[in-house]
C-alpha cells in the first residue's frame, strides 16, 4: 500500500485468518482516518517525552479487528533513536504512549 505526499510512511496490514483481499480492503477503508490522525499522534508522542524535537511516525500497523498502532520515533535531539507506540482502538480512540 503506498501513501503519497511527504516523507515515506510504511503501512503494514496484519493478515490472520481472513483472506488477503479482505484484510487489505478493510485496511484501505480506515486508512484515511489513520492518516488524518498523524499530527495528533506525533504531538502525543512528543509531549510524552517532553522532547524539543518532534516525533515522526515511521509506520502504521492495521489489524483485522479495526485497531491500529503507530510507531513513532525521534530522528534528532535528546530523544534521537527513541521509539514508542500509540495505539488506536477500533472506534478511533488514541491511547497515549507510556513514558
Residues 48-98 pLDDT 10s: 888 888 889 999 999 989 999 999 988 777 777 788 999 999 999 999 887
Among 5-19, 23-37, 82-96, the least confident range? 5-19
The one-character DSSP state at 70 is: E
CB 20 within 8 A of CB 70: no
Are β-strands 55-62 and 68-74 bridged in parallel, bridged antiparallel, or unpaired?
A: antiparallel
Checking if the pLDDT of 15 tops 90, the result is no
Nearest-CA neighbor of 54 among 78, 36, 34, 27?
78
Amino acid at each position: 500500500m503506498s501513501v503519497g505526499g511527504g516523507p515515506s510512511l510504511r503501512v503494514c496490514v496484519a493478515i490472520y485468518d481472513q483472506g488477503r483481499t479482505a484484510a487489505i480492503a478493510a485496511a484501505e477503508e480506515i486508512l484515511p482516518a489513520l492518516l488524518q490522525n498523524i499530527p495528533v499522534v506525533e504531538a502525543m508522542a512528543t509531549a510524552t517525552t517532553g522532547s524539543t524535537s518532534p516525533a515522526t511516525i515511521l509506520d502504521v500497523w492495521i489489524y483485522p479487528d479495526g485497531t491500529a498502532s503507530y510507531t513513532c520515533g525521534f530522528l534528532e535531539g535528546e530523544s534521537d533513536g527513541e521509539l514508542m507506540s500509540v495505539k488506536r482502538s477500533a472506534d478511533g480512540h488514541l491511547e497515549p504512549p507510556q513514558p
